[in-house]
Chains A and B, each alone.
Chain A
Amino acid sequence: MTLVILIAAAVATLALAAGLGVSRALRSASKPDLEAQLEPIDIAAFRNLIDPAEDEYLRRHLSAAQFRVTQRSRLRARAAYVRVASRNAAVLIRMGQTALAASDASANHHVREAALRLVNDALRLRRNAGFALLRIYADMVWPNRSTATAGILDRYQRVSDSAMLLGRLRNPGTAVRVTAG
């Protein structure tokens, strides 16, 4: 058993190291359209979905069994939004890092500052989205418990502002959109 676990750990490390090396080489060889990978989020709908008042309203007007079923559906939708926010954060991290690398050559410190800000905000969003997803999955097991995910929304809006600022500085004619509605 120990042998199997050790061999599995060794293979996982080797595969991950090789995979990172290959993806790094491929990434530097191709210039993907990162903006096309962004999936705008309907902020109003998301806000409605995480509104504690909505949860309370449903709790008061539905039976306990109906509330659990409804709440699980709402939590699944919430998780889907958080996953999209997390994916967008990953794309924005790459966009920010690309801008940082480009600003090294051009020595444009305005772009550099905006890119640094975007990268750090997007990193925090991705980290918090991971924790939020864990909390949502825990809530699915016990739907009567209500977890606050409003922080993700605030963070998302902040990242959206950072992305807009960087987009305007780099290319004033094109706007980076990560929100819809």
Chain B
Amino acid sequence: MPAATMFQPHSLLWHYLWAAPNVGLLLLAVIIYRRSQQREFPIFLTFAIVQGVASLSLYGMSLSYWHFRSPLFSPVFWWRADFVHLLIEVVLKFALIGEILSHALKPFPALSKSGKLMIRVVGPALVLTATLVVALSRPSQFPPIIATSLRLDLADYVIECGMLLCIFLFAAYFHLAWGRLAFGIALGLGIAGSVQLGTWALWSNLAVTFHQRTLLDFVNMGVDHLSVLIWLYYVLTTPKATLMDKLGMVKFGENDDHYDDHDSGGHDSGGDDLTGSDLSGEDERQHDLVVWNRELERLLKR
């Protein structure tokens, strides 16, 4: 979203970079829905729809003011709408980061406690850091509503990048194999977030000229476009949900709680010995159901 170059005459590239990623997000939402991936990533679907619709509405307001001088959409109204959009975007982004983390840790119950602990420690620390960063940024030359939006953006990217950095480090340290789509979402969010943190940092701490602001806007819009393309690539190359997934069937062993994180030190209770012959009656029934379901799926494919 171009922040400070609103209501200025712009090139075709500027219009493209504002509109295309948001059209891409709506397209992404349709593809996610058609591929039944919304069951696994409901927040990502919501994020794509809300972000796409809200940003296109803001774009429409800007066009309407610029071309038709519509009295409905004054610059003050536009900035207020943008601020509300920012607040919603921040909430959705943090929910999306939570969704990514839960997907990354879902197959590994041994790490669920450590993951939660990491969020509990890192989250408040990042909020404090963001507050400090905003407090230390140079006074804005813009009116209060614009200055507040810019500060909120800066704080948002500090927390977002910090969280993603922690998740990436956590996954790298433990050599976790992420799900394809969860990784793609994190990658897009990470690339866009880190570049935008850099541009907002420059913006908030240096005296940038109008020309430089325009360039930073282009960088932000370009990286937004890149992240949408990354998401599209990962959504399109992740295998479609099977009938079994659509019916809500969990693959055998996936929701096993034999591996609960019951130890805090180096010793185990040792009661979770599992070999193939130790299957409980419940597991056997689940297995029969899965086999039955697979046969049903094969029958439907014929």
Contact = CB atoms under 8 A, between A and B. Distances in A.
Contacts of A53: none
Contact of A120 (B109, B169, B195, B205): B109
A12 B193 CA distance: 12
Interface string A111-139: 01110110111011011101010000000
A116 B256 contact: yes
Contacts of B274: 113-114, 117
Interface string B105-146: 001111100100000000000000000010011000000000
B266 interface: yes
Contacts of B268: 154-155, 158
A9 B252 contact: no
Contact of A7 (B136, B162, B201): B201
Contacts of B67: none
Contacts of B108: 119-120, 123
B110 A6 contact: no
B15 interface: no
B198 A7 contact: yes
B215 interface: no
B252 A109 contact: yes
A9 B162 contact: yes
Contacts of B64: none
A169 B277 CA distance: 13
A155 B174 CA distance: 16
A11 to B, nearest CB: 7
B190 interface: yes
A71 to B, nearest CB: 21
Q: Looking at chain B's contact residues, is the secondary structure mostly helix, strand, loop, or mixed?
A: helix
A121 B273 CA distance: 12
B109 A113 contact: no
B191 A17 contact: yes
Interface residues of A, number: 53
Contacts of A148: 266
Contacts of B176: 93, 97
Contacts of B258: 117
B110 to A, nearest CB: 4
A112 B108 CA distance: 13
B191 A123 contact: no
B54 interface: no
Contacts of B175: 90, 93-94, 97
A101 B180 CA distance: 12
A123 B110 CA distance: 7
Nearest to B273: A117
Given A2-B133, A13-B193, A113 B162 contact: no
B113 to A, nearest CB: 9
A14 B230 CA distance: 14
A17 B259 contact: no
Contacts of A151: 265-267
A119 B197 CA distance: 35
11 contacts: A9-B162, A9-B194, A13-B161, A13-B193, A14-B190, A14-B191, A20-B172, A90-B175, A113-B276, A120-B110, A127-B114
Given A90-B175, A116-B256, 16 more contacts: A11-B198, A14-B190, A16-B165, A21-B187, A93-B174, A107-B252, A109-B253, A112-B253, A113-B276, A114-B274, A123-B111, A124-B110, A127-B174, A128-B265, A128-B266, A154-B267
Q: Which 7 A-B pairs have the closest CB atoms?
A: A151-B266, A110-B276, A17-B190, A6-B201, A13-B194, A10-B198, A14-B194
Interface of A: 2-3, 6-7, 9-14, 16-21, 24, 90, 93-94, 97, 100-101, 104, 107, 109-110, 112-114, 116-117, 119-121, 123-124, 126-128, 130, 132, 148-155, 158, 165, 169
Interface of B: 107-111, 114, 133, 136-137, 158, 161-162, 164-165, 168-169, 171-178, 183, 186-187, 190-191, 193-195, 197-198, 201-202, 205-206, 251-253, 256, 258-259, 261, 263, 265-268, 274-276, 287
